[in-house]
Structure 1
């Protein structure tokens, strides 16, 4: 009985640790083409993905073609707040190798082409932690 209780406690602790991943939650993108978005970083299998949940223009909230789209795809933890996966760029509808790195309430997102010779990046601000 003691062993079963210890095993259950260990399994529950690991599940709690996985659910408490500090990159999970909602992040606000930098302003790009006059607007920005809220992206919810959530579990997608063993990885993390980011879905557009709100969009904003200079006058406030609006609906856009990217609402509900997955910007961040299949990011796998590399440890130390770093993730590697893919990033979708809505302006040209292409998916690029990408990575993220979280530092406190900032998430730096970077996508590259040509084997990493040409890269673009943004730093996102945390809006809300995952519950």
Structure 2
């Protein structure tokens, strides 16, 4: 009986840990320009803030989603223009895409640090 309770308790703990595991987008990423961007949970989504480079400290995006597929807004730190954006993770790569009217799009690939 005690052994059964211990096994059940261990399963419950491992399930809870997997539910609380961070999304794959969370962490530090090297951008196409060479700066470091931190992606962290904020307000039910994920905020993107530059940590190094010319625009260090500037928040440049807000994405929502799960399991490696995200969408929201991306801001170009040079022009301060905000675009409809998305991010898709493949291994240690994050393909970021920003679009105007969903027709004119630019993308770049970031690498996990």
Q: Give the TM interval when normalised to the shorter protein.
A: 0.7 to 0.9
For normalisation by structure 1, the TM-score amounts to: 0.70
- Asked if 1:93 corresponds to 2:95, the answer is no
8 A Cα contact 2:94 2:110, kept in partner: yes
Which among 71, 82, 85 is matched to residue 60 of structure 2? 71
* 1:18 shift after superposition: 3.8
Aligned to 1:40: 38
CA distance in 2, matches of 1:13, 1:126: 26
* 1:19 shift after superposition: 4.1
The structure with more radius of gyration: 2
SS in 2 for 1:17: helix
* Runs of 4+ displaced beyond 2 Å: 16-19
Q: How many residues align?
A: 104
Query: What's the RMSD between the two structures over aligned residues?
Result: 2.1
Aligned to 1:13: 16
SS in 2 for 1:54: coil
Kindly indicate which of the two structures has a greater share of residues assigned to strand: 1
> Unaligned stretches of 5+ in structure 2?
none
For normalisation by structure 2, the TM-score amounts to: 0.81
SS in 1 for 2:52: strand
Aligned to 1:120: 106
Aligned to 2:94: 107
Give the 3 Å change call, closer, same or farther, for CA 13–27 of structure 1 in structure 2. Answer: same
SS in 1 for 2:56: coil
